[in-house]
Structures are given as structure tokens and as C-alpha cells.
Amino acid sequence: MSPTATERRRKHWGWGYEDGQPSREELEAAARGIRERLGFGGDSVEEPVPLEAIELPEPRVEPPASLSDLFRTDRYEAYASNEAELEAVLGWCAEEGIAAIPYGGGTSVVGGVEPRVGDGYRGAVTIDLGALDRVLEVDPVSRAARIQAGARGPALEDQLREHGLTLRHFPQSFEFSTLGGWIATRAGGHFATLYTHIDDLVESVRALTPAGTWESFRLPGSGAGPSPDRLLLGSEGILGVITETWVRVQERPRFKLSVGVAFDSFEDGAEAVRELAQSGLNPSNCRLLDATESEITSAGPAGKSVLVLGFESAHHPVDGAMQIALEAARGHGGDPGEVKGQSTPQPRRGAVRENPPVRGEGGSDPVGSWRHAFLAAPYLRDTFVACGVLSDTFETAITWDRFAEFHGQVTQTARRAIAEACGVAPDGAGSPRLSCRFTHVYPDGPAPYYTVLAPAKRGGEIEQWDEIKAAVSEAVIGAGGTITHHHAVGRDHRPWYDRQRPDPFARALRAAKQAVDPSGILNPGVLIDP
Amino acid sequence: MSPTATERRRKHWGWGYEDGQPSREELEAAARGIRERLGFGGDSVEEPVPLEAIELPEPRVEPPASLSDLFRTDRYEAYASNEAELEAVLGWCAEEGIAAIPYGGGTSVVGGVEPRVGDGYRGAVTIDLGALDRVLEVDPVSRAARIQAGARGPALEDQLREHGLTLRHFPQSFEFSTLGGWIATRAGGHFATLYTHIDDLVESVRALTPAGTWESFRLPGSGAGPSPDRLLLGSEGILGVITETWVRVQERPRFKLSVGVAFDSFEDGAEAVRELAQSGLNPSNCRLLDATESEITSAGPAGKSVLVLGFESAHHPVDGAMQIALEAARGHGGDPGEVKGQSTPQPRRGAVRENPPVRGEGGSDPVGSWRHAFLAAPYLRDTFVACGVLSDTFETAITWDRFAEFHGQVTQTARRAIAEACGVAPDGAGSPRLSCRFTHVYPDGPAPYYTVLAPAKRGGEIEQWDEIKAAVSEAVIGAGGTITHHHAVGRDHRPWYDRQRPDPFARALRAAKQAVDPSGILNPGVLIDP
């Protein structure tokens, strides 16, 4: 069993560690602030049901004596600490008809690791990969590293830092999510352009399937048949358990510049972002916030849309690129604030901890404020819910030609659905908030990300969100967007994913799974039916 | 039947059109030049067997009357001009157990479209997609275009030019190869970095399979399950017939700079290229030629390795990027020539034909010379063969950490194998030539491309090359390279591809094919066994 698992316990309900739960007094202060700021919520504080009060059904299956060391049937986790143990567990599951669910950080927001596997299984086993958390090998010449799949963001970056290197994949879930989980779900990360998904940082993948080890050769690029890695990327655990991977890493950036650029309207900002996304400048940060999002995250002046723009390089100053980008932004009415950062190189190595701050480290400038709010969002969400505010998100991608109409339709549907689900008026003071930002942008279109803040129905929050989510999902795919840009499909997105996926591809994927997992034990119910 | 097919006939043996065949006198002059320059070959001229002298077996199958209009059983081609016709042909093939081979430009160098389908079929039908050659739709806002799969490079670019746009995918086969063929084989193109393969330019793909239409949604980025497009990319016709695709296009570049940089050794040049590939500068051209390659293509001073370096943009001047890149190159001993091109913008549109010159347009500078030689190479190869010189290539990709050892092993094996196959000494005056260049480079490694010029055994050229190719293929995969970076697998690379591909992936791919092509008629023998 991994020692790290006992040291600090994760919350059973909510984001972060048990010891990080805000106190009653802190929550009550937050509730007052929320009510003042939003005009709803905050009339009372409800804390999560304590773990002791939760009745869990007894496990339906009993592991054989030979594997019992690997299993924990209390309310926490079960670990395999090497591939032989993983194989043994998979073998037992296949033999006994037990669903096997690979588990990384457990941060799925789409039911990706929930044991909703249907009645065709004797039980479900969650295979926690947390003990496989090492950087095994570093190739500084090719800028690549072999890393175990269970490594969480901070642990992975800490180990790479010793070599002056970084993966620079910082999804919002960075603190708890794992490399294997990122690959299985095609996670979106730090870079707003170019290397948006983890897909682009993967050099080769090793996965255990019931039919043997699926491991691609370590190559910078190959044109030999369809890419084996690309079939594992996004496979969400249905084809195999990813155990390790070679990823492309980088020298830590020594030149960094960032700036907030205000626009009168989201539309003007979107046109500026389109030009930037098509310019070939490839900024590392290029996130457009609408006025509501900007207000909530204190990123910019009231009523303005704000573009959070940044360039970084380990190789050369980025002042020239920033200048060209600002000129482009001004051409669309953008009003840049002060450019902050490093024009002269920072020392190549150092003890400076440079992971994204995970909590409590606010920023003194608009860009820092936004960055802080971005990373604190999962924590804030728990506080919102405790204070009676429903807080959730949905995200997509769409081509530029359809964006304006898409955005209009989706926001209209969302506002109506939120108001209905909350029993309030869609507009006016104290009405629900719907905000939008671009998390990633491409030459051919943006990836819009929507955040909802609305009065919660106490005790009915899940049903309330399900109602809203179903309505907005219909609107998103009806207007031509993808059901998910980087949140994955899991079990929750299935109804819409099934309608968007080419039917022959669904057949091909089902057959591929059958070929490598003949007993159908691997994470049944995500992506395809068992 | 497509009118373009009758207007100008392609050579039945060799590159280009029948009317472009050099005359006897031209070939004899070439032979003298070759002998003088290489020290071998050129002692006689042999022209290809005329088509009339070739005995072709009678077709084994007879199309039904309903389809007879689509079929040509003379020695040229058969066309389907829309999807309904394609479906009818596929249906007939499935019913009758006839292999169906999708055919784009016929430029495969790996036996990708040869009817070597084994004995399990009543016959083989080549489905020529040449009539599907239109740009159907252009979206200038998202910079994307919907284009039929049978469009050849020049036709595709000519149609895009009317909109001020370009795909900028210029493989060496550009003149004759097709968009569908590029996708089916993951072709490598114009850009030496970043957008190296056609994969990166594809927004969505539509293909006909015997199990229905496989069409992905048009999206800038999606994280919904494994990418359906990525399973078609590189599928070499075994999963479906690609009929059309949305691709990412660009404004035509208005700023362009290029320069040749000489290095004392290939190793020094490689180190410079590694720095550039890892710098984030992403030059459009970054091709390192060894001294032999540089000499053959007149790209640089004798005995020097030459880096052909270029930047281009439709958006902003590239002088700054070029300066940083040249500074990096100088740091590795590089000696840049004169930078040529446009620092000030060219007019946005214009009647200027800007396709790569396909023949006869030499360059006045080193970069132009190399570019000319690159594009003329397929023509030159025919001349070489006519004059008794075996001329062929092999290519791969490898990570930087292993490159030096890899290159040493591969060149050693290749020299020995060439000398043996040609019955000559490996070294000394008039010995065979083996040259190397990087066609594409990545942060984690280069894609080396090797060219062989050696004395041919008249009438035994194919066996001679097969012997060399087998030896170098062993050396390439033995030293850790991919069996192909962008030439595809086809039938010729199967023995090595089969050893490099993860076994569970092979099972998955076989099952996927079975699911969408239950009769197994689609291009049997490439990638996997029928």
C-alpha cells in the first residue's frame, strides 16, 4: 500500500484534503459574502454528510487470499503497486466477471470512475494506480521522460524539476489528477494554443490489456499505420490500464510575459482571439473571459471582457511576439494593461517551486487574479454548494464561422433551463450567473467553457444540475459543438456522445475492445455499451 | 469518366506524363553527365518497355451491366464519380468476394495500391477516385475547406488560390498524389516542424465503409473518446474509402525568408537543428542535408553539410524569428549565406501561381537549388534508372538521444548492403552514394531520409533494391527507428511493421476492420492480413 495514501486523506465529498475543510465560521463568513455579491445563496450553511454517517453496501465480491494484500474493503482505496499485481487483479476480474475500473485521481466530472456498470457483473473493483507515481527515466537530450501513470501533477513536476524540466500540463485538476488519467481522458492543459491536449505531449504509451501488453515504440513521429497511441488516448479505461508513458517535456521557461487586454464586448475579444489563433504566434495563454467571468474572477474592469494573454519560452525573449500580438489585439479595440514578466532570462535551474499555486496564493494583477481563481475554482465550488449556490460547468468546441450563432443559442437555452431548474427569473438583479471563457483556441475555432452559478435547491442539487446539463447538452450538440472538448465522455455524456460519434467508428471501437478485453471487464459503460 | 484522365496520359512506368518522357538524345546526354559526376552508370541507356509490348492478363471478373459504365478493362483506369457509384462498386465487390483497392494518385512507394491480395479473392478492382477532385466548400472565417478525396495537389491548390487560401501540404509526390491518399497514408508535407503530417491539417473525414458512412463532425478540437479521424489516418484503405474531408487551410504567406547555413559536419548541423526544433521557433523549413546530399542537389559548398532554413507567415514579418534562429545556428558553428525573401508584405491576393515548381524551374540560390532538386527527384529517378543507376530512398524517425548511434549503424549496414548488391567496393572513387537529410524535425527527434545512388544490374534492379531495402529495414528497426515516418506501410513494409506494432493493437485493428468490412474486401494485405 502506498504510504502517501495514509498520510493525508482526501475528502470523501468535495475537492481537496480532509484537513483543508473550511471551518463553520469560515463558511458562514463566505455565505455572507456570497449573498452580498451574487444576490442569492448564502442564507444557510450545510456541510457534507460526515463519512461515518454514510452507509455503504458490503462488497459483493471477496478477493482470493493470494491478492488480499492488494485489497482494502474499508471505505478508502485499494492499490496495486506494480504491473504483476495489476495483471493478477485483471486476471481475477476476468475470471470472475467482475468489472475493473482503473482509477487515477478520481477527478472525473463525467462519471468516468463510478461503478455504474450494469447488472452483468458480479461486482466492481476500483484499481487505484496511486502507487505508480515515479518518474522512471529522463532523456534530457530528446526532452522526454518515462513516467508512471499514477503520478499526480505536483509529484510529477517535482520529480522533473530536479532535472530542470517540466511537462507543463496543468489542467484545473492538476493537484489530484494523474498522467494516466490525462491520457485516458484526453485532458486539456496549460497551453491555450498548439499543445492543448495531453495528446500532443505523448511520445509512447504502455498499457496492460487482458490480451497482453500494448506498448508503442518511443518515436518522435511515425507514419506506420493508424497511431496505436491515438486509440488509447481517450479510451477511458475500456481498452487497457495505462501503466506508464514517455512524454515530451521541456526546459523550464526563462522568459515569460503576460498581460490582460480589455474589450468592450466578448465579440470584439473573440475576433482578436481568432486573429491571434490564426497568426501562428501560438501564445501559451490566450484565454478570453466574458464580462461576467472577468467580474467573478476579478480579472478585469467592470463590464469588460478580458483576454488573458501570455507568451513563454525557455529559449529566447518573447517581447517581439507579445508586441505583434498586442498590435493585433488593439486592432480589434483591445485595451492592454501593463505587461508583466521576464524579458531577461531567469536562472536556468533553481530551487524555485514553480508549480501552479493550488490554493491561497492570490495574484496582485489581473492575470494573477484570474490564474488564482482558475486554480481555486474546485475548492470554491464546495464552498458555493455548502452556502446554497449551485456551481457547475460545461464545455465544448466549435468552429469560428458558427461561434456567434452557437453562443447565442447555447446561452439562451442555458439561461432558460437554469431559471426553470431553480424556479427563478432568468434576468434581473440576483438572477443566476452564466459566464463563458475560451479555455483553448485553434486556428479553426475556440473551445468555450461555461460556468453556472444559481440558487441551489437544498438536497436536490444533483437533480437540478442534471436537468440543466441535459438541456445545455442538447443545445450544444444541436448547434454543432462537441459534447466535450476536454472533460471526456464517461457515463454522463453517453447519450450525446452516442449521437455524435460516427456509427461505423462505434462498431470498430466495440470490436477493438472485444479483441483486447474479451470478458468485457474494463470500465464497462463508458464510451460504449458492454 | 473524368475528362482530365483522357486529356493527358500518365506514364505507365515512371513519374510524370507520357508526353514528358525525355528523348533518346536527352537521355544519352544525361548518361554522359551521370557517368562524369558519379563515376558509375551511364554506359548505356535503356528505355522502359512500351505499353504495347506488355502482356496483361485478362480481367478475372466482369462487372454487372448496371455498373459497366464505371469500369474500364483496357490498360488504363476505372472511375467512380460520386458516392452512390462508389457504394454500388463496394457492394458488388463484397457480394462477389472481389478485393477493392482505393486508388488516389498511384504514387505509393510501398506497394500500397498493387493488387497483391492473395488467393482468397475472385479478383481485384482498382477504384480510381480521380473524378472526385473538387473543393466543395470554403470557410474563410475558420480557415477550413471541404475537399473531395481525389483532388491532386495542384488542382486542390488552384481551387483554394481563388479564395486567397492554401493547404500548404507539399509532399514530394505533390504533382500526382491526392488528398485522400495523403490521409490514408499519413503523408508528410511542406512544414519541417509542427504540422509535419497531413494528420495535423485534418478537421474531419468522411469515408464509405461496407458498414455505412464513417463521418466525423467538423470540430476544431474534441476530447470525446478516441479520435475517429486518427483511426482513418494511416488506415491505407482497409477501413473505408475516404471520399471527402474538411482540412485546415491558411492565408497565403506574405512574409517569407530562407537561408542556407553551412556546417563543417552533419553532427554539428544536427545539434543546431536539435536546438531549433526544441526552441519553439517552429521554422517552416528546417532541413539538414549531409555533404553528399548537398553536393548532389547543388545546395551548398563542397564538403559541407547544409541546413535549409525558412520562416513564413501570412500575418507578420518573420525577421525576428530568423535572427534568433541564425544566432542559434552560429552557436553550433553554422555559417549562414544570404537571407533571401520578403520582409515586407506581399499583396494579399494575386494571380501569382505559387505552387511548388514541378519541373524545369531551377533556383538561383542554394535554397532554390535544393527545392528544385527535391521536386525534380521523382523525374530524375527515372533518368537515373534509364542510365543504369539504381536510385531509391528509405526514411525513418528516431529520438535525438539515439540518433548518432542509429545513423552510424544504419549507414554502415546500408553501405555494406549496397556494395554487396551491386558487386562493387563500398568506398573510393566511383563507389555508390548514400546521402542523408532530415525531412522533418521534432523536439524529441529528427526524421532522417536516406538516398541511394548505385550501379544498377540491368534487368535485376528490383531484386537488387529488394536486397538493399531488406538489409536497411533490419538496421533501421534494430537501431530503434520506425519502419516509416511518412512513406506508409503498404505491402512492402509489412514484415518490419508487424514486428513494431503492439500486438494488442494489431488485434484491435483486425477486429475494427472486421466490424466495418465484414467481407474483408478493402485493400487486403496492407497493414494486416486479410
**What mean pLDDT comes out for the span B275-298?**
95
Reported residue count of chain B is 530
The beta-carbon contacts of A34-37 under 8 Å, at least 24 apart in sequence, are: A34/A383, A34/A384, A34/A387, A34/A389, A35/A387
What pLDDT shows up at residue A6? Answer: 52
What pLDDT shows up at residue A75? Answer: 57
Residue A165 has pLDDT above 80, yes or no: yes
Chain B CB within 8 Å of residue A488 CB: yes
> Could you give the CA distance from residue A304 to residue A292 in angstroms, rounded to a whole number?
8
| CA distance to A2, A85, A243, B92, per residue, from A178 (Å) | 15, 19, 11, 50
Q: Answer for the pair B329, B323: CB distance below 8 angstroms, yes or no.
A: no
What pLDDT shows up at residue A176? Answer: 95
- Partners of A398 on chain B (C-beta within 8 Å) are 219-220
Chain B CB within 8 Å of residue A324 CB: yes
> Sign of the C-alpha dihedral, residues B196, B200, B201, B206?
positive
Residue B470 has pLDDT above 70, yes or no: yes
What pLDDT shows up at residue A76? Answer: 55
Q: Considering only CA atoms, which of B184, B293, B191, B290 is closest in space to residue B240?
A: B184
Does the distance separating the beta carbons of B484 and A222 come in below 8 Å?
yes
pLDDT tens track for A204-213: 999 999 999 9
Pairing of strands B335-336, B255-263: antiparallel
> Could you give the CA distance from residue B220 to residue B200 in angstroms, rounded to a whole number?
11
Does the distance separating the beta carbons of A516 and B504 come in below 8 Å?
yes
Does the distance separating the beta carbons of B231 and A486 come in below 8 Å?
no
Backbone phi and psi for residue B80, each to the nearest 5 degrees, phi listed first: -115, 135
What pLDDT shows up at residue B356? Answer: 59
Grid cell locating B343:
520582409
Residue type, B108: S
Backbone phi and psi for residue B385, each to the nearest 5 degrees, phi listed first: -60, -45
Backbone phi and psi for residue A288, each to the nearest 5 degrees, phi listed first: -95, 125
Pick the residue from chain A with its C-alpha nearest to B240.
A504
DSSP class of residue B206? E
pLDDT tens track for A178-210: 999 999 999 999 899 999 999 999 999 999 999
- Partners of B514 on chain A (C-beta within 8 Å) are 511
A281, A440, A505 ranked by CB distance to B221: nearest: A440
- For chain B, what percent of residues have pLDDT higher than 70? 94
pLDDT tens track for A435-480: 999 999 999 999 999 999 999 999 999 999 999 999 999 999 999 9
Chain A CB within 8 Å of residue B523 CB: no
Grid cell locating A348:
536556468
- For chain B, what percent of residues have pLDDT higher than 90? 78
Q: Which residue has the cell 529520438?
A: B399
What pTM, to 2 d.p., does this model score? 0.95
| Helix boundaries (H) for A280-365 | 291-296, 319-330
pLDDT tens track for B2-59: 444 456 888 888 899 988 888 999 999 999 999 998 999 998 999 888 888 988 888 8
pLDDT band at B265 (very low <50, low <70, confident <90, very high): very high
Q: Answer for the pair A38, A386: CB distance below 8 angstroms, yes or no.
A: no
Chain B CB within 8 Å of residue A213 CB: yes
**What mean pLDDT comes out for the span A110-130?**
94
| Helix boundaries (H) for A264-318 | 266-279, 291-296
Residue B349 has pLDDT above 60, yes or no: no
What is the value of ipTM here, to two decimals?
0.95
Q: Answer for the pair B324, A316: CB distance below 8 angstroms, yes or no.
A: yes
DSSP class of residue B224? S
**What mean pLDDT comes out for the span A47-69?**
87
**What mean pLDDT comes out for the span B225-242?**
98
What pLDDT shows up at residue B77? Answer: 61
Residue type, A135: V
What pLDDT shows up at residue B75? Answer: 57
Run of H or E including B148: strand B144-148
Does the distance separating the beta carbons of A226 and B235 come in below 8 Å?
yes
Q: How far is A201 from chain B (nearest CA, A)?
A: 10
> Could you give the CA distance from residue B211 to residue B94 in angstroms, rounded to a whole number?
11
Chain B CB within 8 Å of residue A283 CB: no
> Sign of the C-alpha dihedral, residues B139, B144, B150, B155?
positive
**What mean pLDDT comes out for the span A408-416?**
97
pLDDT band at B348 (very low <50, low <70, confident <90, very high): low
Does the distance separating the beta carbons of B485 and A222 come in below 8 Å?
yes
Grid cell locating A279:
497568426
Chain A CB within 8 Å of residue B147 CB: no
What pLDDT shows up at residue B105? Answer: 94
Q: How far is A122 from chain B (nearest CA, A)?
A: 26
Does the distance separating the beta carbons of A509 and B512 come in below 8 Å?
yes
**Higher-scoring residue by pLDDT: B355, B101:** B101
pLDDT tens track for B147-199: 999 999 999 999 999 999 999 999 999 999 999 999 999 999 999 999 999 99
Q: Which of A63-67, A310-314, B484-488 has the lowest mean pLDDT?
A: A63-67
**Higher-scoring residue by pLDDT: B377, B485:** B485
Chain B CB within 8 Å of residue A298 CB: no
- Partners of B197 on chain A (C-beta within 8 Å) are 221, 223
B223, B227, B320 ranked by CB distance to A188: nearest: B223
Residue B1 has pLDDT above 90, yes or no: no
> Could you give the CA distance from residue A104 to residue A99 in angstroms, rounded to a whole number?
16
**What mean pLDDT comes out for the span A33-43?**
91
- Partners of A226 on chain B (C-beta within 8 Å) are 230-235, 509
CA angle, B336 as apex, B334 and B340 as ends, to 5°? 150
> Could you give the CA distance from residue B75 to residue A177 in angstroms, rounded to a whole number?
60
| Helix boundaries (H) for B241-365 | 266-279, 291-296, 319-330
What pLDDT shows up at residue A20? Answer: 85
Grid cell locating B107:
504514387
Pick the residue from chain A with its C-alpha nearest to B325.
A316
pLDDT band at A367 (very low <50, low <70, confident <90, very high): confident
For every residue of A51-93, DSSP letters joined together read GGG---PPPS----GGGGGG---SSS--B--SHHHHHHHHHHH
What pLDDT shows up at residue A71? Answer: 86
Q: How far is B41 from chain A (nearest CA, A)?
A: 33
pLDDT tens track for B414-453: 999 999 999 998 888 889 999 999 999 999 999 999 999 9
pLDDT tens track for B106-148: 999 999 999 999 899 999 999 999 999 999 999 999 999 999 9
Pairs of CB atoms within 8 A across A/B: 309
Q: Considering only CA atoms, which of B246, B107, B80 is closest in space to residue B175?
A: B107
> Could you give the CA distance from residue A365 to residue A481 in angstroms, rounded to a whole number?
33
Run of H or E including A404: helix A400-422
DSSP class of residue B190? S
> Could you give the CA distance from residue B206 to residue B220 in angstroms, rounded to a whole number?
16
pLDDT band at B350 (very low <50, low <70, confident <90, very high): very low
- Partners of A167 on chain B (C-beta within 8 Å) are none
Residue B482 has pLDDT above 90, yes or no: yes
pLDDT tens track for A217-261: 999 999 999 999 999 999 999 999 999 999 999 999 999 999 999
What pLDDT shows up at residue A2? Answer: 42
**What mean pLDDT comes out for the span B207-217?**
97
- For chain A, what percent of residues have pLDDT higher than 90? 78
Q: Which of A170-184, A219-233, B375-389 has the lowest mean pLDDT?
A: B375-389
- Partners of A511 on chain B (C-beta within 8 Å) are 508, 511-512, 514-515
Q: Is A15 exposed, middle or buried (0-12, 13-18, 19+ CB in 10 A)?
A: buried
What pLDDT shows up at residue A285? Answer: 97
pLDDT band at A79 (very low <50, low <70, confident <90, very high): confident
What pLDDT shows up at residue B447? Answer: 98
Pairing of strands B144-148, B241-248: antiparallel
Return residues 412-451 of A near B (CB < 8 Å): 440, 442-447
Mutate: best of A138, A201, A222, A278, partner B, most B CBs <10 A: A222
A215, A227, A444 ranked by CB distance to B144: nearest: A444
Q: Answer for the pair B348, B254: CB distance below 8 angstroms, yes or no.
A: yes
Give me the half-sphere count of Cα atoms (radius 13 Å) on the Cβ side of residue A97: 7
Does the distance separating the beta carbons of A527 and B515 come in below 8 Å?
no
Mutate: best of B173, B195, B213, B222, partner A, most A CBs <10 A: B222
Pairing of strands A212-215, A285-289: unpaired
DSSP class of residue B357? P
Q: Which of A446-460, A494-508, B356-370 has the lowest mean pLDDT?
A: B356-370
Pick the residue from chain A with its C-alpha nearest to B327.
A316
What pLDDT shows up at residue A354? Answer: 55
Return residues 237-256 of B near A (CB < 8 Å): 239-240, 248, 250-251
DSSP class of residue A364? S
> Could you give the CA distance from residue B1 to residue B3 in angstroms, rounded to a whole number?
6
Pick the residue from chain A with its C-alpha nearest to B400.
A142
Q: Answer for the pair B451, B305: CB distance below 8 angstroms, yes or no.
A: no
Residue A1 has pLDDT above 60, yes or no: no
